[in-house]
Amino acid sequence: MGQFGNLTVCGDPLDFTRDVPRSKVVIHHGGLGTAMWAMVNGVAQWGCVNDLEKSFYRDSFHALRDGRDGSARLEVS
């Protein structure tokens, strides 16, 4: 883990319960677990996807966020 001003770069697995809720943004590999932790905690995220499965997650989260999936808009409080 390295600290660069206000930026923390983690090389080791995160403690999601500790680190995600106190983050302003999570930049990650696009995996479902990381994306869900960020979404549930209302943290902005940028998923750097590189395969079809993670692209599907990304597109699904965008549809949820925008209310384009035919269901109620997702609200996190």
Q: How many domains does the chain have?
A: 1
In a domain, 77, yes or no: no
What digits encode the pLDDT tens for the residues 43-55?
888 877 777 777 7
Would 26 be classed as within a structural domain?
A: yes
Is residue 27 assigned to a domain?
yes
Please give, one letter per residue, the 3-state secondary structure of the chain.
Answer: CEEECCEEECCCCCCHHHHCCCCCEEEECCCHHHHHHHHHCCCEEEECCCCHHHHHHHHHHHHHHHCCCCCCCCCCC
In a domain, residue 73? The reply is no
Residue 23's domain comprises 2-66
Residue pointed to by tokens 């949820």: 64
The answer to whether residue 71 is domain-embedded is no
Domain for residue 76, yes or no?
no
The string of pLDDT tens digits covering residues 2-45 is: 777 887 787 777 788 888 898 888 888 877 888 888 888 988 88
Residue 29 lies in a domain: yes
**41 within domain boundaries:** yes
Residue 57 above 50 pLDDT? Answer: yes
Q: Is pLDDT above 50 for 72?
A: no
* Confidence grade of residue 1 (pLDDT, cut at 50, 70, 90): low
